[in-house]
Amino acid sequence: MAHQHTHTHSEGSSNRSRLLAAFTTTALFMVAEVIGGFLSGSLALLADAGHMLTDAAALLMALLAVHFAQRQPNARHTFGWLRLTTLAAFVNALALLVITALIVWEAIQRFYQPQPVAGGLMLTIAIAGLLANLLSFWLLHHGDGEKNMNVRAAALHVMGDMLGSVGAVAAALIILFTGWTPVDPILSILVSILVLRSAWSLMKESLHELLEGAPGSVDVDKLKRDLTRNIAEVRNVHHVHVWQVGEKPVMTLHVQVVPPYDHDVLLQRIHDYLHQRYQIDHATVQIEYQHCDGEDCDLTLEASSQPHAHHAHHH
């Protein structure tokens, strides 16, 4: 069975160049916001710089992950380094959760001990930061980021920054016109809550993949039923394992069948069905002729019992 791979070298190169441009932009403006935050006394700016710091780390890890993901599989790493992209996404999400908690803690301290804020300087830096974030987000969003969890993780960081910059601009305007400084920590907390939800979702998704969970697009019980109903010779499907490596679903399964006139044709039909219905290109199918008696042998239909079993491993 020929396997179709959805990622090409040009896609990887496109991801790398976009990530590099976004990393450079983010790192430069992170430094600007840290300096501006300290000079103006603005927590909203420092919060945004905190987000930008995790962004810079996220983008750097994403760059490394894209690089390692293109390494060819070998005898020791038979799937290559694709799983590194998932690990990078998990670390990114974790870092963002920690930074968010620190920002909220500092904001609470500010309510008890208000700090003076230089609104004019804060506004200038916040607007520059917002423009930098818009540029970075555009770079990442116009790649194949919707398919790539790692690029999506980096884009999520930048989106959080964009919200932070909007909050910082709004806080600076309020401070300039009213002198009400508590708006600075209030907006910091609001932005943190918005980012928290997305970061938590990303962390759960990447952890699920790291723990070899089945992709959300594949309902294993439904797949077992579909195979028995749509391919006449299939009597039972069991010992099904499906997981994801990078963006690639991988599957192994045992299929009990009526002894076919042409074994290879039946095997090809099963592979074609998995590809067309579930977009699974990499499946290892074990054909069995005997009735399965194990605990995993559910959805069994009546089949004539055969005196001998024949097993075939195919890709």
3-state secondary structure string across the chain: CCCCCCCCHHHHHHHHHHHHHHHHHHHHHHHHHHHHHHHHCCHHHHHHHHHHHHHHHHHHHHHHHHHHHCCCCCCCCCCCCCHHHHHHHHHHHHHHHHHHHHHHHHHHHHHHCCCCCCHHHHHHHHHHHHHHHHHHHHHHHCCCCCCCHHHHHHHHHHHHHHHHHHHHHHHHHHHHHHCCCCHHHHHHHHHHHHHHHHHHHHHHHHHHHHCCCCCCCCCHHHHHHHHHHHCCCEEEEEEEEEEEECCEEEEEEEEEECCCCCHHHHHHHHHHHHHHHHCCCEEEEEEECCCCCCCCCCCCCCCCCCCCCCCEEEC
| CATH number belonging to the domain at 9-210, selected among 1.10.1040.10, 2.140.10.10, 3.40.50.1980, 1.20.1510.10 | 1.20.1510.10
Is pTM beyond 0.85? Reply is no
Please report the pLDDT score of residue 244 as a whole number: 84
Domain 220-314, CATH class in plain words: alpha beta
**Section 41-65 average pLDDT:** 77
Report the alpha-carbon distance of residue 279 to residue 273 in Å, rounded: 9
Parts of the chain belonging to CATH 1.20.1510.10: 9-210
Name the burial class of residue 308, with classes exposed (0-12), middle (13-18) and buried (19+) by CB atoms within 10 angstroms of its CB. Answer: exposed
- State both tokens at 24: 């450079």
**Section 207-235 average pLDDT:** 88
Asked whether the predicted pLDDT for residue 235 surpasses 80, the reply is yes
Please report the pLDDT score of residue 311 as a whole number: 44
Please report the pLDDT score of residue 147 as a whole number: 59
Parts of the chain belonging to CATH 3.30.70.1350: 220-314
**Section 89-114 average pLDDT:** 86
- What 8-state DSSP symbol labels residue 144? T
- State both tokens at 272: 């074609």
